[in-house]
Amino acid sequence: MEKRIVHIALTGGPVGGKSSGAPMIREHLMTHDWRTVIVPETVTMFINAGIMPWDSPVFQPQVLRTQLDHEAAFLRLAQTLIGNDKILMLYDRGICDNIAYTGEEDFEKNARSLGTSTIALRNHYDAVIHLTSPAVDAIEVFLKHRGNNSARWEGKDDDAKAVRDTAQLDAKTAAAWVGHDHLITIDNSTDFEGKMRRVVNAVANIIGEPEIYEIERKFLIEMPDLTALLRLPGCHREEITQTYLLSSPGDEERVRKRGRGYDFVYTRTLKRDVPDSTRKRIQHEKSISAPEYLEALASANPKLMTIKKDRYCFLHNNQHFEVDIYPFWDTHAILELELHDERQTIDFPPQLQVVFEVTDDPRFKTRALAQSIPNLIPC
């Protein structure tokens, strides 16, 4: 039997709860016959060895190179584990966390030197869970626990500076992952135990017991000022080409090309509606190569048009927003949010003006738009 391996990066600002969350995830999944392999943080390994980021001009390029080799070695071992068919690769920080320290330009340069790119590395994982530092929204908790890791240096003995520096680092770290298809943020709106339960639940939802679910809400919005969106911290614009394939009744299968310029990643996705729920769908998604993508296009559904759109991704108050701009609409756009809980509230940014929710409206599903391009803008 072929092993099923899921890759999740656990990231976030200092004192966010990664160290506590990883063993709780492992314990929970043991009861569902999952083996969890926790891949340790590369930067902490260097710092604990006595090498600080400012000690060497090649520190960050070496961190990237080592982390890629490190992850590949753990994956090779996981693939040979005996007696485990379901394996979660849980990464203590993902590769793109390094952007928070290098900036996007230098990170891209380092990635290119290793034959890869920021877009490819961002989609190196099936999902990313960002645990917000309490320095952002629970300062007393942060000050109480910030000395727990000897590899941290933010603020040292100055509490005010520690809060400020850590909150900024948390924001940069979260922004580094904007644009990933499955970015989940876990804030400090509950006590720590509640936060850890939300982390475990998010992982359980991602790996699927028994199925993987996508919880999505969609809104028709007025056409935003795209220049203003791009000025938002961490906002990314990507080009998406989505083609629907011939599939069985009740299933929706498609391939997607996503990126910009000449730098793209490719995915193949199967979706199935969940009875009695318009916001939850069973989803199976996997990365594919460019040749596999081109081969799949031979099975394109001739009754459905290929959809092309520009997607603007950004974070606002710990929520990941995706605004889709279609070439056939000049006055409106679609806003999508992937949630980790159907009861989750949404804090809309002031740059977006919602017309109404279309989650339950079949006319606004992307597949429906691929059938025809109707005039859907309401009076």
CATH for 362: 2.40.320.10
- Residues in the chain predicted with pLDDT less than 50, given as ranges, are 150-151, 210, 379
Q: Which of 154, 172, 207 is the last residue of a domain?
A: 207
Total structural domains within the chain: 2
270 and 345 part of one domain: yes
Residue 62: per-residue pLDDT = 95
Residue 344: per-residue pLDDT = 78
Residue 211: per-residue pLDDT = 52
How does strand 86-92 pair with strand 35-39?
Answer: parallel
Residue 369: per-residue pLDDT = 84
How would you class 347 by CB atoms within 10 Å of its CB: exposed for 0-12, middle for 13-18, buried for 19 or more? exposed
135 and 16 part of one domain: yes
Residue 379: per-residue pLDDT = 40
| Residue ranges making up the domain that contains 224 | 213-371
17 and 60 part of one domain: yes
Tokens 């520096």 correspond to: 165
For residue 291, tell me if it sits in a domain: yes
Written as six digits, the tokens of 249 are 């009744």
Q: Are 153 and 159 in contact (CB under 8 A)?
A: no
Q: Which of 207, 229, 259 is the last residue of a domain?
A: 207
202 and 219 part of one domain: no
Residue 113: per-residue pLDDT = 95
How would you class 177 by CB atoms within 10 Å of its CB: exposed for 0-12, middle for 13-18, buried for 19 or more? buried
Q: Alpha-carbon distance 206 to 215, whole Å?
A: 10
AA letter at 264? F
pTM beyond 0.85: the answer is no
What CATH number is attached to the domain comprising 184? 3.40.50.300
For residue 170, tell me if it sits in a domain: yes
Distances (CA, A) of 12 to 133, 168, 328: 7, 11, 38
263 and 185 part of one domain: no
For residue 378, tell me if it sits in a domain: no
Q: Which of 175, 207, 239 is the last residue of a domain?
A: 207
Q: Are 308 and 296 in contact (CB under 8 A)?
A: no
What is the helix (H) or strand (E) element at residue 67, kind and residue range? Answer: helix 59-79
Written as six digits, the tokens of 233 are 């911290």
For residue 353, tell me if it sits in a domain: yes
44 and 168 part of one domain: yes
For residue 147, tell me if it sits in a domain: yes
Q: Can you give the length of the chain in residues?
A: 379
Give residues with Cβ within 8 angstroms of 92, minimum separation 6.
10, 18, 19, 22, 38, 39, 40, 41
32: region left, alpha or beta (phi > 0 left; psi from -120 to 50 alpha): alpha
For residue 376, tell me if it sits in a domain: no
Residue 206: per-residue pLDDT = 85
Residue 156: per-residue pLDDT = 57
Tokens 């063993």 correspond to: 23
How would you class 268 by CB atoms within 10 Å of its CB: exposed for 0-12, middle for 13-18, buried for 19 or more? middle
